[in-house]
Every structure is written in C-alpha cells, then in structure tokens.
Amino acid sequence: MHETMVAESLLATISDEARKQNAKPVSAKISCGMLNAVNDKVLCFAFDAIAKGTSCEGIRLEIEHKLMQGQCKKCNERFDFKLNCPKCPKCDNEEFDLLPDAPLLLEQIEFEME
C-alpha cells in the first residue's frame, strides 16, 4: 500500500526531469532492493491513477528488483543472499555480512523525440 507514496515521489521526480528536458516521457526504469517491498502491479496501478492528466500519463514503468548481497567473511566472495540457503556458494561458509539493500532509484527515462 505504501506504493502510493512511492508513486507520488516518482511522478514528481519524472515530471521534474520532463520539464528540464522539455520533452514527453515514454517510459522509466526503476530499480530497488528487496527490502523496499515494492510490488510491481501495485506500483504501476498507483502510478497510472495519479499520472492521469499530467505529462506522465500513460508512461511505461520497468521495475528491476535487486537481490540482497552477502559477502563471505572467509573468502570475501560476494553473492546473492538466499534465505533458504544462507551460506557462501563458493566455500560453504555460513559466516558472512549482509551488504546494505539497494535503494529505490529512478535509473533512466525515455523521452519522445520532437
């Protein structure tokens, strides 16, 4: 449900860029870590609803989810953290650090050419 607030912030950020570029946005790429708990369908639904009547109406959102990364304390290997198998895939060590989760980022906007 917090996707509505994410959608509002996203709309403000894209509208801002669109004004600077003086162009109509067609699509936007977003990335987020798993701890942001963003559901694609809910975010797209919320964004469509609030973007009606703005310069961002009808734009397509692409959302990339990034897995959490672990780093092995023994061999330093960085790996995708999986809750059902929490150990280093290279040396099987169970001692590792969880690296900070990826933030919610607006990565790229695609604009129409005039």
Partner 1 sequence: MSRKIDVGKRILSANERYALKNSQLLGEQKKLCLNMISSPGSGKTTILARTIRDVKDKIKIGVIEGDIQTDLDAERIKATEAPVVQIETGGSCHLSAAQVSGALEKLPVGDLDLIFIENVGNLVCPSAFELGESGKIVVLSATEGDDKPVKYPAIFAKSKVLLINKIDLLEAGAQVDFDVERVRADARKLNKGIEIFPISAQTGEGMNRWYDWLAESTKNLQGD
Query: Which parts of this chain interact with partner 1 (CB under 8 A)?
Result: 1-2, 5-6, 9-10, 12-13, 17, 21, 23, 26, 30, 34-38, 68, 83, 86, 97-98, 101, 103-113
The least CB distance from residue 112 to partner 1, in Å, is 6
Angle (CA) 113-26-54 rounded to 5° is 110
Report helix, strand or coil for 42: helix
Q: How many residues does the chain have?
A: 114
Contact 112, 26 (CB under 8 A): yes
The least CB distance from residue 1 to partner 1, in Å, is 4
Instruction: CB nearer to partner 1: give 5 or 49.
Output: 5
